[in-house]
Amino acid sequence: MPTASAALGAGVHPTVTASRRLLGFLLAIALFVTVERVTRIFAGEYAVRVLAMCGINAMLAVSLNLVNGTTGQFSIGHAGFMAVGAYAGAITSHLLLGSLGHLWPGLSLLVSCAVAIVCAGLAGVAVGVPSLRLRGDYLAIVTLGFGEIIRISIESLAPLGGSQGWPIGAESIPATATLPWIWGGALLTVLVIGNLTYSSYGRALTAIREDEIAAEAAGIPTTRYKVLAFAISAMFTGLAGSLYAHDATGGQHIDPGSFRLDRSVDILVMVIFGGLGSVTGAVLGGIVVAVSLELLREFQGYRLIVYALLMIGLMLLRPQGLLGNRELDLRRFLPGRKAASA
Residues 6+ apart with CB under 8 A from 240: 56, 59, 60, 63, 82, 85, 185, 189
Residues 6+ apart with CB under 8 A from 54: 286, 287, 290, 291
Stretch that binds other proteins, among 39-47, 116-124, 157-165, 219-227 (CB under 8 A): 219-227
Which is nearer to other proteins, 172 or 195 (by Cβ)? 195
Distance CA 48, CA 35 (A): 9
In the complex, least distance from residue 176 CB atom to other proteins, rounded to whole angstroms = 26
Residues 6+ apart with CB under 8 A from 113: 89, 185, 239, 242, 243
Among 57, 93, 242, 325, binds other proteins (CB under 8 A): 325
Stretch that binds other proteins, among 49-57, 61-69, 216-224, 310-318 (CB under 8 A): 216-224
Q: Tell me the CB-side half-sphere exposure of residue 231, using CA atoms within 13 A.
A: 15
Stretch that binds other proteins, among 29-37, 79-87, 124-132, 188-196 (CB under 8 A): 188-196
**Contact characters 16-45, other proteins, x per CB under 8 A:** x----x------------------------
Among 41, 158, 170, 213, binds other proteins (CB under 8 A): 213
Query: Quick check: helix, strand or coil at residue 253?
Result: strand
Among 106, 136, 221, 313, binds other proteins (CB under 8 A): 221
Q: 283, 287, 265, 264: which is closest to 275 by C-alpha? A: 283
Contact between 206 and other proteins by CB under 8 A: the answer reads yes
- Give me the residues paired with residue 177 across strands: 247
Contact between 319 and other proteins by CB under 8 A: the answer reads no
Contact between 192 and other proteins by CB under 8 A: the answer reads yes
Contact between 215 and other proteins by CB under 8 A: the answer reads yes
Give the total of residues touching other proteins (CB under 8 A): 35
Sign of CA dihedral 180, 182, 186, 191: positive
Contact between 13 and other proteins by CB under 8 A: the answer reads yes
Contact between 204 and other proteins by CB under 8 A: the answer reads yes
Which is nearer to other proteins, 88 or 228 (by Cβ)? 228
Stretch that binds other proteins, among 90-98, 217-225, 294-302, 327-335 (CB under 8 A): 217-225
Among 196, 254, 284, 293, binds other proteins (CB under 8 A): 196
DSSP states of 199-225 = SHHHHHHHHHHH-HHHHHHTT--HHHH
* Burial class of residue 182 in the structure, from the number of CB atoms within 10 Å of its CB (0-12 exposed, 13-18 middle, 19+ buried): buried
Among 153, 195, 292, 320, binds other proteins (CB under 8 A): 195
Stretch that binds other proteins, among 14-22, 30-38, 96-104, 278-286 (CB under 8 A): 14-22
Contact assessment for residue 328 and residue 3, using Cβ atoms and an 8 Å cutoff: no
Which is nearer to other proteins, 228 or 248 (by Cβ)? 228
In the complex, least distance from residue 340 CB atom to other proteins, rounded to whole angstroms = 10
Q: Give the footprint of other proteins on residues 225-264 (CB under 8 A).
A: 228
Distance CA 181, CA 247 (A): 9
Residues 6+ apart with CB under 8 A from 283: 58, 61, 62, 186, 190, 274
Which is nearer to other proteins, 14 or 335 (by Cβ)? 14
In the complex, least distance from residue 277 CB atom to other proteins, rounded to whole angstroms = 8
Q: 250, 185, 240: which is closest to 48 by C-alpha? A: 250
Distance CA 22, CA 120 (A): 26
Judged by the rule CB under 8 A, the positions of this chain that interact with other proteins are 1-2, 5, 10-11, 13-16, 21, 192, 195-196, 199-204, 206-207, 210-211, 213-222, 228, 325
